[in-house]
Structure 1
Amino acid sequence: MAAAARLAVAGHRVTVYERSATYGGAVGRFERDGFAFDTGPGLLQVPAVYRDLFVKTGKEPLEACVDLVQVDPAARHVFADGTEVSLPNASRAGAVSALDGALGAGAGERWGDFLVRAREAWDRTRRPLLEEPLWPNWRVLGEREPYPALRRRRLLRTRTAGLLSEVGAWELADPRLTALLESHALAYGLDPGAVPASAAVLPYMEHAFGTWYVRGGIRELARAVYERCLARRVKFAFGAEVVSVTEKDGRATGVELRDGTVAEADFVVGGPPELLESLTGRGALYGGEAPEPHPAPLSCGKAVVCLALRGPREAGTAHRTVVHTPDRAEELGHIFGTGAAPPRPTVWVDRPDDPLLRPDDAHESVVLTATVPSLARHDWAAAGAADAFADRMVAAAERAVPDLRERMLWREVRTPLHTERETGAGGGGVPAPALAGADGTRLRPANTTRIPGLFAVGGWAHPGGGLPHAGMSGALVAGLIVEGPDFRGSQ
């Protein structure tokens, strides 16, 4: 939709063909008995991406279309040893003070110094990774690790951290700070022991640009983008599954739908790249001027538990609480090793103070989220698998929500099985943002393919997953179509 709105403003007649019955993809919503829940992302980072979209596509700014509010604290963290800390939104000094108070003198300074180094990695990678197309010389993004790791002397050798887990172990010197760092990677389905140190940009994004919430839930952001598309005369066809991309003389010329209808077009924009490859029947879509880095590892999925609670939300409750696993090695070993659902997961607990999500002030809607193996590695359809894991998530969330079980009216459990059915994402996986370093193994395929007129958009293409990156993907594709090969990136 981000690409569609921009292309329509540039003078193109745009039609969106959507296999499901509604817009928004994984930015979903579940409603029942007056309760409403976000089933995809619950918070927004880098809102400037969507502010830019609304400025470039119409007279009304983003804030005129949605009620965007900054969340404070950004998150409350409950660590394995029972220590708790609430981190203020977008305040380095506030975070330093809070961590010193909760974890002991020096903890805040180490975290603050880490954020300074993370900013350097962000400054080095922001433009090529987020605001420019993936150029044919993409290998330069993989050759150099952009995170300026501290030098560490051990056994007559000087070493620097090359992995995010090493950054935590060697530079933060506190298992709770390490858990704080690694939880930002795990939230995106990334293994801290396998991703490059450049993943430090993930907590930096939250720190630098703040954490934001849309009243009524993040689904309201999807609604606003959809309505902006309609206002720019973008047409939508729901329940319209594309079964092939049509071609003539080696160029994409449109799409064929499941019912046999053929829609002609000058340009075709879709995704994921793997799906486009199957729709063309042409084999590899990349090579030469259309770069594809090394295939990224399989993506993880999300387990989501929507809880309808009796009783009001307590005053002063944090919007988001991260309940850390008591055994991080065990959790990571299950998710990224054996492919089993972890017995004691890290759980993100969202408790928005939003009257639009509950029937009245005598009730509360809560969303629990955990990172889990996708369908490719775990059988979420097995009898009792989803409910058994939901029980573990609720048990963890009891550390954050007093009297949780006693307050529960009902729950709705969702797994990667739901994600695959509703969005078509293979295995119900959720794409992660692209990262520099690691020989390009954490990059995504380019938006331009080898077939003229065919472009890849969305979280599975450059610059990867997450709401900011998906919005930028739309901006990059629109720029490539409108300006052609001379497009140098978003301004």
Structure 2
Amino acid sequence: MAAAARLAVAGHRVVVYERAATFGGALGRVERDGFAFDTGPGLLQLPAVFRDLFLKTGKEALEQCVELTQVEPAVRHVFADGTEVSLPNASRAGVGEALDAALGEGAGARWAAFMNRAREAWDRSRRPLLEEPLWPNWQVLADREPYPAVVQRRLLRRDRVATTLAEVAELELGGEPRLRALLEHYALAYGLDPRTAPASAAVLPYMEQTFGVWSVRGGPRALAEAVYERCLARRVEFRFGAEVVRVVDKDGRAAGVELSDRSAEDADFVVAGVAPEVLDGLLPGPPIRAAGEVPPQAGLPSRLTVLLALRGGRPEGTAYRTVVHAGDRQGELDLLFGPRPALAASPTVTVLRPGDPALVPDGEHEAVTLTVTVPAHAEFSEADVDRVLTVAERAVPGVRDRLLWHKVRTPADVAAATGADGGSVPAPALASAGGRLLHPSNSTRIPGLYAVGGWAHPGGGLPHAGMSGALVAGLIVEGPDFRGSQ
């Protein structure tokens, strides 16, 4: 939709074909008995991406269309030993003070030193990974580690340099297990193994703690609705329940689409917001990625989401987001990323308690969402859900006594909504690591065919989706000489 709105403003007639009955893909909504739950991301980072979208596509600014609020605190962490810490929003100094108070003097300074290095990684990688089309010589990004090397000197042993996020935690955070869990969670939340995620993944906590996290009144689905309405205002046409089964190829160029009802529509350009394996299935012949391009990511985990309708209102002062860390962090990673991926007995659970009156029938009820990173293709029993509820009780005391009903969304539900294999969820693009965490470019080997969304550059996440739309629109409007967003 971000691409559609921008292209419409540039003078194109734009038609969106969506096989589902509504817009938004993974950013869906579940409603029942006056409760409403979002099925995608619960919070918004880098709202500037969407401010730019609304600025470039109409007179009404983003904040005139949706109500955004900085969440305070940004997050509350409950560690395995029972220690708790609440981190303030977009306050580096405040984060340091909170860590010192909860974890001991010096914890804040170690974290601040790490964040200074994370800033260097952000400054070096922000533009090529977010604001520019993927470089033709993308191997430079694959081989170059933007995170500054910090050498660990050791007596009578070879010096060590952190190359993964887990090594950053081990070598640079003083061996503090709770600081390590805090850092590694940023990778796990995106479905990445911190033991293999590159040190450049330091940009993930940097983005959150520098630019802040925001809630959307009515949930992030309200943001999708605002973008949809902006598209309608720009005369973008939508065809719901319209499944595209083939991209029409004429003289080696994308020339339209064929629908499941066997009708066909001509087009000068085709923009596909689907998973790579789905896109490959829409064209006869070889994959749409030419040899030498970034290959699509494979084997990424999915998410298990448990939606809780509770009696009793949200207590005053409750954190919007709480991360309850696994009792055995190493064991959780071994199971999740091992040869036979499985859910840990006590997994890391993210608990969202919005406290938004628009999401509940009245003030005497609460809507809570639990999210766990889980293996793709996995199936789950009520016993598995019960284990997640047990962990969640550390953040929501008495949750079982308050429970009216719950709904479970599994990887199969994610797959049905997005078409991604096994319900895999794409992660943001990251530099280094041999390029395995980059995403394929927005252009393809077929002239006139472009890829947009989480499975194309610059990867998964709400701000990345917005940037993806801006990049595709730029490539179509300005051509291959387009050098990126300003």
Among residues 470, 474, 479, which one is paired with 1:479 in the alignment?
Answer: 474
8 Å contact kept, 2:278–2:420? no
8 Å contact kept, 1:386–1:414? no
**After TM superposition, where is structure 1 displaced by more than 4 Å over at least 4 residues in a row?**
none
Q: How many residues align?
A: 482
Moved more, 260-269 or 153-162: 153-162
Q: Helix, strand or coil for the counterpart of 1:213?
A: strand
Q: In structure 1, what is the equivalent of residue 191 of structure 2?
A: 189
Q: Distance between the aligned counterparts of 2:285 and 2:123, measured in 1?
A: 38
Q: In structure 1, what is the equivalent of residue 307 of structure 2?
A: 306
Q: Distance between the aligned counterparts of 1:486 and 1:229, measured in 2?
A: 26
User: Are residues 1:405 and 2:408 paired?
Assistant: no
Q: Is there any run of 5+ residues in structure 1 with no aligned partner, and where?
A: none
Identify if the C-alpha distance between structure 1 residues 38 and 275 changes in structure 2 by more than 3 Å, giving closer, same or farther: same
Q: In structure 2, what is the equivalent of residue 427 of structure 1?
A: 422
Q: In structure 1, what is the equivalent of residue 374 of structure 2?
A: 372
Could you give the per-residue CA deviations for residues 261-281 of structure 1, whole angstroms, max 9, x where no partner exists?
Answer: 101000000032332222111
Q: In structure 2, what is the equivalent of residue 7 of structure 1?
A: 7
Q: Distance between the aligned counterparts of 1:274 and 1:465, measured in 2?
A: 16
Q: In structure 2, what is the equivalent of residue 172 of structure 1?
A: 173
Q: Helix, strand or coil for the counterpart of 1:371?
A: strand
User: Are residues 1:56 and 2:59 paired?
Assistant: no
Q: In structure 2, what is the equivalent of residue 456 of structure 1?
A: 451
User: Are residues 1:250 and 2:252 paired?
Assistant: yes
Among residues 205, 208, 211, which one is paired with 1:206 in the alignment?
Answer: 208
Residues 271-350 of structure 1 aligned to structure 2 (within 5 Å):
271-287=274-290, 292-337=293-338, 338-350=340-352
8 Å contact kept, 2:275–2:418? no
Q: Distance between the aligned counterparts of 2:408 and 2:254, measured in 1?
A: 41
RMSD between aligned alpha carbons?
Answer: 1.0
Could you give the per-residue CA deviations for residues 367-421 of structure 1, whole angstroms, max 9, x where no partner exists?
Answer: 000100001xx3x1xxxx2422211111001001121111111111111111111
Q: In structure 2, what is the equivalent of residue 353 of structure 1?
A: 355
Q: Distance between the aligned counterparts of 2:277 and 2:228, measured in 1?
A: 25
Moved more, 445-454 or 419-428: 419-428
Q: Distance between the aligned counterparts of 1:458 and 1:222, measured in 2?
A: 14
Q: Distance between the aligned counterparts of 1:386 and 1:231, measured in 2?
A: 45
Q: Distance between the aligned counterparts of 2:285 and 2:118, measured in 1?
A: 41
Q: In structure 2, what is the equivalent of residue 221 of structure 1?
A: 223
Could you give the per-residue CA deviations for residues 60-91 of structure 1, whole angstroms, max 9, x where no partner exists?
Answer: 01000001110010000000000000000000
Q: Helix, strand or coil for the counterpart of 1:486?
A: coil
Q: Helix, strand or coil for the counterpart of 1:157?
A: coil
User: TM-score of the superposition, structure 2-length normalised?
Assistant: 0.98
Q: Distance between the aligned counterparts of 1:283 and 1:454, measured in 2?
A: 15
Q: In structure 1, what is the equivalent of residue 69 of structure 2?
A: 69
Q: Distance between the aligned counterparts of 2:71 and 2:384, measured in 1?
A: 29
8 Å contact kept, 1:386–1:415? no
User: Are residues 1:436 and 2:431 paired?
Assistant: yes
8 Å contact kept, 2:2–2:53? yes
Q: Helix, strand or coil for the counterpart of 1:309?
A: strand
Q: Distance between the aligned counterparts of 1:141 and 1:476, measured in 2?
A: 18
Q: Distance between the aligned counterparts of 2:219 and 2:286, measured in 1?
A: 40
8 Å contact kept, 1:189–1:432? yes
8 Å contact kept, 2:276–2:296? no
Q: Distance between the aligned counterparts of 2:143 and 2:460, measured in 1?
A: 22
User: TM-score of the superposition, structure 1-length normalised?
Assistant: 0.97
Which letter does structure 2 place at the counterpart of 1:334? L
How far does residue 295 in structure 1 lie from its aligned partner after superposition?
4.3
Q: In structure 1, what is the equivalent of residue 161 of structure 2?
A: 160
User: Are residues 1:115 and 2:115 paired?
Assistant: yes
Q: Helix, strand or coil for the counterpart of 1:485?
A: coil
Q: In structure 2, what is the equivalent of residue 391 of structure 1?
A: 386
8 Å contact kept, 1:20–1:423? no
8 Å contact kept, 1:245–1:256? yes
Q: In structure 2, what is the equivalent of residue 16 of structure 1?
A: 16
How far does residue 103 in structure 1 lie from its aligned partner after superposition?
0.2
How far does residue 294 in structure 1 lie from its aligned partner after superposition?
4.3
How far does residue 423 in structure 1 lie from its aligned partner after superposition?
2.1
Could you give the per-residue CA deviations for residues 271-322 of structure 1, whole angstroms, max 9, x where no partner exists?
Answer: 323322221112132237xx62244241111111111111111111000000
Q: Helix, strand or coil for the counterpart of 1:361?
A: coil
Q: Distance between the aligned counterparts of 2:443 and 2:276, measured in 1?
A: 10
Q: Helix, strand or coil for the counterpart of 1:245?
A: strand
Q: Helix, strand or coil for the counterpart of 2:480?
A: helix
How far does residue 159 in structure 1 lie from its aligned partner after superposition?
1.7
